[in-house]
Amino acid sequence: MFALLPVLLLSFSWLSSALTYHGADISSLAVVEKQGVRYSDNGQVQPFETILKNHGMNAARIRIWTAGDYNLQYGLALAKRVKAAGMTLIVDLHYSDTWADPGKQAIPSAWPTNLDGLNTQIYNYTLNVVQSFANQGTPIDILQVGNEINNGLLWPVGEISSGGFHQLSELLHSAINGAKAAGNPKILIHLANGWNWSGLNSWFSGVYVPGALQASQVDIIGVSFYPFYDSGATLNNLKSSLTNLANNYGKPIVVAETDWPVSCSGGSLTEPSIPVSMSGQATWINDIKNILAGLPNGRGQGIFYWEPGWVGSANLGSSCADNLLVTSSGATRDSINIFSADM
């Protein structure tokens, strides 16, 4: 058995390194720093993006709202740090003044509320965002048009349960056309519940509409995969769902959001055999990486840990108290090494 260990380690390293993107969403970084938190690694204070890069991460994701803390100017400033660290830049457009997710997708307060007006607005807004990043020398590498848009965006106009797919398809078509008028980022479509093949298949089988969104406009499919919210969110279901997604829709696939707790007394997790600990964080991430690396035709392309440094909001919206890769003082945990094998 011991003689096989080097072979096994090499196997896991090969699977991990097969992924193009291994990174994190670091949107809250400047907000946390403003509160006085300083990040450190082995006792040395360093910028968080530098720490992540030193531990194998090569990509960073930044959310942008149409107003509030995570507005365009905030995102532009953070992008300079991402690019200076030599990382791939993913920009996540929520198309809302605040959080957008499967339960809420509010039209920005200053935007029109009819389809024609929104098609024009989302085109111009997306064009301006892409142009703004390019103008400061930090062009967007991957542009995510909408956040967890399982039931559409810009509700109620682009809400699937209200008006079907056609209006959503038009809006996404307009957004992507705006992006391509200003640059050439890869386009990522992001849905929640990556383990739910029925939901993914229903969405992609309906969203491509003649005269509106076409499959050729989409470069990457991203999914969220969390262990907190639904008993169906198992690793086996993720593997089955993403395998079907790769076979049926033929696009590169990333797990755009995930995390695992080091402390959890408030709820059950979908993989009870994985410990609630730093080693559990590493196991969870490695299991997802290996699922992605094993997808048909090399379709598995990347994984992003969601907000590993959000000191002050360590539950990350879950029922578990702490899902971070750093302590409450900003010092790295051993699990900061989840991507070290990818270097």
Query: What is the per-residue pLDDT across 60-96, written as a single tens digit (0 to 9) for each?
Result: 999 999 999 999 999 999 999 999 999 999 999 999 9
State the Cα–Cα distance between residues 247 and 200, nearest whole angstrom.
13
With 80 as the cut, is the pLDDT of residue 3 above it? no
With 80 as the cut, is the pLDDT of residue 5 above it? no
Cβ-Cβ contacts under 8 Å for 62 (sequence gap 6 or more):
25, 26, 27, 70, 75, 78, 79, 82, 89, 90, 91, 92
Contact call for residues 191 and 150 (beta carbons, < 8 A): yes
Tokens standing for residue 230: 């639904």
Question: What is the residue-averaged pLDDT of the chain?
Answer: 94
Amino acid at residue number 211 = G
Annotated active-site positions, please? 148, 257
Cis bond before residue 261 (omega within 30° of 0):
no
Cβ-Cβ contacts under 8 Å for 325 (sequence gap 6 or more):
281, 305, 308, 309, 332, 333, 335, 336, 338
For 104-132, what is each residue's pLDDT tens digit?
999 999 999 999 999 999 999 999 999 99
pLDDT, position 342: 78
Helix (H) or strand (E) holding 222, with range, is: strand 220-224
For 167-213, what is each residue's pLDDT tens digit?
999 999 999 999 999 999 999 999 999 999 999 999 999 999 999 99
Ordered structural domains, the chain, with CATH:
21-316+324-342 (3.20.20.80)
Could you give the percent of the chain with pLDDT greater than 90? 92
* Rounded average pLDDT over 156-171: 97
pLDDT, position 343: 67
pLDDT, position 341: 83
pTM over 0.85: yes
With 80 as the cut, is the pLDDT of residue 17 above it? no
